[in-house]
Amino acid sequence: MAGLTQAPQGAHVELRDISKSFGGTRALEGVTLSIDKGSIHALVGENGAGKSTLGKIIAGVHAPDHGQVVLNGEPVRFHSPREAIGRKVIMIAQELSIVSSLTVAENVFLGVEPRRAGLVDRRRLHSQYAALASQAGFDDLPGDVSAGGLRTADQQKVEILRALSRNAELIVMDEPTAALSRPDIEALHAVIRQLAASGTTVVLVSHFLGEVLELADKVTILRDGHLIQTVPAAGQTEESLLAGMLGRSLDAVFPPKRPPAPDAPVVLTVAGLTAPGVHDVSFELRAGEILGLAGLVGAGRSELARAVYRASKVSSGSVTVAGAGGGGGAGERTNIPVTGDPRSAMRAGVLMIPESRKEQGLLLGRPVAENVTLASLVRVAARGFVKAGTERRTVRDVLARVDVRGGGSQAAPASTLSGGNQQKLLFARSLLRDPKVLIADEPTRGVDVGAKRAIYELLASLTDSGVGVLVISSDIEEVLGLAHRVLVMRGGQVVAELSGDEASEAAILGAAFGATERGKD
């Protein structure tokens, strides 16, 4: 744009008439926005609305096709994140960028390590790390352990500390709390407020509207690449933000609960299961039931799911599957061998949506079709060769069932889809196996509210057909909104079983923190 003037007093960054396309997809169209210094400015919208793209343009990950970025009154054009970091603009991306072979402290100070005589000063490195972790409220994260072995939540903390170590003046945070437990979220919120109070500008991209309303000074709503409005957060509600994001009201976040029939057969029996992070766990799951699994990060929820699915080594205990596929009949009973693997679980009718679609679920560089049929090649192949026509029709039909939108060609890489549609690919893959039991670990992590509702409807439709669903979620509201019954874990054990009116946020948190024990009032 010609004739640029100085940024208004108080503006940290201005985006003027920003447009950006990826191939034939228009991600942003004519976005003009001013973000105040020292403010917490939230960007909200459905997946594909352009909010992450806008954040990446601010942080130098992408360059706009058209328009101007003005930083502290000066027009800039970043060609890389490194250039943006040089101007004290840093992004904490939704997809983590941990160097697995390095320690936590080495990751945090990567590229800015304290040195003496040309070598890394280990003593100062760990001293500086300890001070930074304490300042951020992450004292429980040791600096000398390998970052590659950390849980997703702890790896997210490393990303946050890395940004803080650069003394950033503007931080773009893309879904920073998606992998964190409630105590960790509260600690991070305190850090974000502290940053803003000290003059640091925070651009917050979040699907958690309650978080946005709690933290943000202003909220910008994006829809289909267009800026709908920028408003003070104080005057908004979750309902008003949803209406702006979707272009319509959303009557309810969760579909009506449809409890299983009173005589619904048991489709999954877990007895005395012991595995890494899991100690003597027993429970049953009925056909048409959604069983929620709650607890703090590290309580053993994902470890239990992996043990049932035989993705981790089981020491003792049994897992028995009964029923006739999606019909949910009694059928024959199948024991998954203790020494089994995920293939034996799938043959028994147990499918799993893993916690991280990037690390554990999808082959993002491979075509959409291959990702969908990966676990069901026998359906689309003959004599060792995939039949292209059969695969195409099979994938088309199952993608329609899970409501994947904007996917373009089945030959396109899975990475070209939005987060919500990537998540639906995992559901499509599972549906092709006609599951008796579906384990969904954090099924809506990193997806927008519209995609969440679609996934909730999908889970409800599966239970209607007799599938038993085990849902693991760090979002207590999600667990309560979906589950007919809730198991709470702590220390690798089930410590409470809640249903009906006794299933509440207070009861779940009380059990998770040790205030109650299973079987006690």
What total of structural domains would you count in the chain?
Answer: 3
* 293 and 401 fall within a common domain: no
* 72 and 165 fall within a common domain: yes
Q: Inform me whether the pLDDT recorded for 28 exceeds 50.
A: yes
Q: Which of 21-30, 92-101, 284-293, 382-391 has the lowest mean pLDDT?
A: 382-391
* 409 and 449 fall within a common domain: no
SS3 423: helix
Residue 426 lies in a domain: yes
Q: What CATH number is associated with residue 65? A: 3.40.50.300
Q: How much is the pLDDT for 248? A: 60
* 191 and 324 fall within a common domain: no
Q: Which residue, chain included where needed, has tokens 């929820």? A: 301
* 174 and 38 fall within a common domain: yes
Which two structure tokens, joined as six digits, stand for 367? 């075509």
More confident residue, 422 or 171: 171
Which two structure tokens, joined as six digits, stand for 496? 């409470």
Q: Inform me whether the pLDDT recorded for 386 exceeds 80.
A: no
Alpha helix locations (H) across 287-333?
A: 301-308
Domain that holds residue 215: 11-98+150-246
Full strand arrangement of the beta sheet holding 218-223: 89-92, 170-174, 201-205, 40-44, 218-223, 226-232
Residue 122 lies in a domain: no
Q: pLDDT by residue (tens digit) across 299-357?
A: 899 999 999 999 999 999 999 998 644 444 445 788 888 888 899 999 999 999 888 78
* 364 and 337 fall within a common domain: no
Q: Inform me whether the pLDDT recorded for 168 exceeds 90.
A: no
Q: Which of 246, 272, 291 is the last residue of a domain?
A: 246
Contact between 317 and 339 under an 8 Å Cβ cutoff? The reply is no
* 403 and 468 fall within a common domain: no
Residue 104 lies in a domain: no
* 176 and 39 fall within a common domain: yes
Q: pLDDT by residue (tens digit) across 47-66?
A: 678 898 999 999 999 999 99
Provide the 8-state DSSP code for 131.
H
